[in-house]
Amino acid sequence: MKAIVGTYECKADSKGRIMIPAPLKKQLAGGLEDGFVLKRSVFQPCLELYPMAEWNKMMEKINKLNRFVKKNNDFIRRFTAGVKEVEIDAAGRLLIAKDLMAFSGIDSNVVLSSAVNIVEIWDKDKYEQSIDGSDVDFADLAEEVMGNLNDGEDGIS
> Residues 7-28: pLDDT tens digits?
999 999 999 999 999 999 999 9
Residue 151 lies in a domain: no
Convert the pLDDT of each residue in 92-110 to its tens digit.
Answer: 999 999 999 999 999 999 9
CATH number reported for the structural domain that contains residue 94 in this entry? 3.40.1550.20
Total of domains in the chain: 1
**Cβ-contact 121, 49 below 8 angstroms:** yes
Residue 141 lies in a domain: no
Q: State the Cα–Cα distance between residues 78 and 89, nearest whole angstrom.
A: 28
Domain of residue 113: give its range: 7-125
Residue 139 lies in a domain: no
To the question of pTM greater than 0.85 for the whole model, the response is: yes
Residue 21 lies in a domain: yes
Residue 97 lies in a domain: yes
